[in-house]
Chains A and B, each alone.
Chain A
Amino acid sequence: MIWLTWRQHRGQLLVTFGLLAALGLMFLVSGLEAAAFVASNAGLAPGDLDAALGARYDAVYTVFGWLPIVAPALIGAFWGAPLLGREFERGTHRLVWTQAVPVRRWLAVKLVVLGGLVALGGLAMSAMVSVWRPRFRTDTFGNVGIFNMLGVEPAAWWLFAFMLGTAAGAVLRRTLAAMAVVVGVLAVMTFGLFTLSDHYATPSRVVTADQTTVTSQDVRLVEHAWLDPAGREIAETPPGACPRGVDAGRNDSARTAYEECLIGKGYRHVVYFHGHDRFWRFQLIDAAILLAGAAGLGLVTVRAVRRAS
């Protein structure tokens, strides 16, 4: 069975792990080059050094920054969807399920071996990002795109996507339709989990005259409100509280002047946020939801296969 699994899925395996190796090589070259740059420019002012490293970081980030969104979709579409969809399409399930190896064993080997490799690939990616990135940037939590590249997130997302594609292929019996389901469901899940994650813990509340005390940290902002001079919390400041200009484009000087005036009149910012210390809590809740989803999809797959066999 292991031989058959390798023979049927070696294309996906080689491409996936080849791309991961290429990504690792790029990280290695980028990391070594950055280290050499830092060593030979020891006298550089911190700001200049940061700008130089930032430019290097951005160049590499454009290559893999889309991975948290696209990688699970690719895994689901090319590892998951054909696993049963293609067998049903070609009728080959009637060949392979009538050999002496029982169907349940065929399915178990495929799901465990391929699911294990998918999870391993996700862990490898997060490990590589975790080793390479700290040289350039230290934030891990505030930006959800970065957060989804670290810890157990890639492994959990990839495994969920794999099981999603497999279940869709088992139920729909069509590879292409299953691929479409993968893309659709992942889009909803990505947005849904991001929205839901605000509620993984009660947000911290800070009342401050200077918002940057919070926003300069690696935090996830949830909500902003005002405390009026009477001490009441309000979502919006009342009209006419201060003279309010209009900003054009990305210039925000009018808003800054308006807020400074409000602070001067005794208004205060109320900021709700999740602090960086919640990194693992959020990671594990995300992973638990995704793994529960993967297990449920596994059940759907087993049922669909049992009905067809």
Chain B
Amino acid sequence: MIEASGLKIGGRLRDCSVRVPDGRVVALVGPNGAGKTTFLHVVVGLLTPERGAVRTAGEVAFVAQDKPLYDGFRVAEMLTLGRRLNTRWDDSYARERLAGLGIPLDRKVGRLSGGQQAQVALTIALARRPDLLVLDEPLANLDPLARHEVMRSLMGAVAETGMSVVISSHVVSDLVDTCDWLIVLNEGRVQVSGDIDELLSEHRMMTGPLGLSPNAHVVGGSRTDKEQTVLVRGAPVADPRWRVRAVSLDDLVMAYLRSPEAAALPRLEGVRT
């Protein structure tokens, strides 16, 4: 479980509140500079907020952006680091996982490929047997094959343990298949937080003639010379002049990011429409 209330850090986070239940795989999305990294650093305790507080349950493991490791260490020495700096540490799990991935323990970290380095960083986090795993842009700088491998092995570990995960990315499509909870962070505020299936079923895209009122809760939209397209939330509109279709996660995120004043925070008090 993650519960953040009223987080503020300079201009990077402004009154950031969110609540995510246990066992969720959370996609934290938002444009560059939205405050994703700052938010994650607060969650893992690297930053202390000026105002507000974060509560997490149990052991929290973190893989920072760019997956920092000590280049001069051998892989086995990175495991020693994990073992010596943590009270909870599953060494045999870490060794088996790396062996399964074909990463030699005596290789210097700096000589591994980017995908292998990501796997070592992930292994160190997983061997702590965390209740919450936080990953900051874990797929950045990886080639498509390595992205797929990292995601696949991560989801395997999640299925095994049932831990909660937060993955940040500015590419929504990276996370669409693996996550079941969405948080959209924009300009230092939480704009959307909710179960992805619920969010998708609550929203729809409607296209109709200009000048016609959608008669619904409009999140945002765009228009051409003849038509307007709007993303609405709530019950479908019966008017036949509207063509209605389901939304994709991409549509949803884009519409909210284009309308920073709109919000969908179903789990927070009083926001539900």
Q: Is the CB of A100 within 8 A of B86?
A: yes
A272 at the interface (CB under 8 A from B): no
Q: Which of A89-97, A196-204, A289-297 contacts B (4 or more CB under 8 A)?
A: A89-97
Give the distance in Å from the alpha carbon of A101 to the alpha carbon of B88 in the complex: 11
Q: Which one, A1-9, A20-28, A165-173, A248-256, is touching chain B? A: A1-9
| Contact A100-B71, Cβ < 8 Å, known A91-B64, A91-B65, A91-B66 | no
Q: Whole-angstrom distance between the alpha carbons of A293 and B187 in the complex?
A: 43
User: Chain B residues with Cβ under 8 A from A94's Cβ?
Assistant: 41, 46, 62, 64-65, 68
Contact A95 B68 (CB under 8 A): yes
Contact of A99 among B77, B86, B121 (CB under 8 A): B86
CB distance from B13 to the nearest CB of A (A): 16
- B93 at the A interface (CB under 8 A): no
Count of chain B residues near A, Cβ 8 A: 29
Does A309 lie at the interface of the complex (its beta carbon under 8 Å from any beta carbon of B)?
Answer: yes
Total contacting residues, chain A, CB less than 8 A: 17
Q: Which residue of A7, A91, A95 has the most chain B CB atoms within 10 A of its CB atom? A: A95
CB distance from A276 to the nearest CB of B (A): 49
Which among A4, A8, A94, A100 has the greatest number of chain B C-beta atoms within 10 A? Answer: A94
- Chain A nearest CB from B128 CB (Å) reads 8
How many inter-chain contacts with C-beta < 8 Å in the A-B complex?
A: 59
A259 to B82, CA, bound (A): 76
Q: Does A237 reach chain B (CB closer than 8 Å)? A: no
In the complex, whether B242 has a CB less than 8 A from a CB of chain A is: no
Q: Is B201 an interface residue (CB 8 A)?
A: no
A8 to B85, CA, bound (A): 14
The residue in chain A whose Cβ has the minimal distance to the Cβ of B78 is A95
- In chain B between 78 and 117, which residues have their CB closer than 8 angstroms to a CB of chain A? 80-82, 84-88
Q: How far is the CA of A92 from the CA of B128 in the complex (A)?
A: 18
Which B41-91 residues have a C-beta within 8 angstroms of A?
41, 44-47, 59-62, 64-66, 68-71, 73, 77, 80-82, 84-88
- A309, B84: Cβ atoms under 8 Å? no
Chain A residues near B47 (CB, 8 Å)?
309
* Residue pair B73, A7 in contact (C-beta under 8 Å): yes
B82–A7 touching, CB < 8 Å: no
Chain A 175-228 residues near chain B, CB threshold 8 A? none
- Contact of B88 with A100 in the complex, beta carbons under 8 Å: yes
> Would you list the 10 A-B pairs with minimal beta carbon distance, nearest first?
A94-B64, A99-B85, A91-B68, A98-B62, A100-B86, A92-B68, A101-B85, A95-B68, A98-B44, A100-B87
Can you list 12 contacts pairing A with B, beta carbon distance less than 8 Å? A7-B73, A7-B81, A91-B64, A91-B65, A91-B68, A95-B121, A96-B81, A98-B64, A100-B85, A100-B87, A101-B85, A309-B47
Extra inter-chain contacts (20) besides given A1-B85, A95-B124, A99-B85, CB under 8 Å: A7-B77, A90-B70, A91-B64, A91-B65, A91-B66, A91-B68, A94-B64, A95-B64, A95-B68, A95-B69, A97-B46, A98-B46, A98-B60, A98-B62, A99-B81, A99-B86, A99-B128, A100-B59, A100-B88, A309-B46
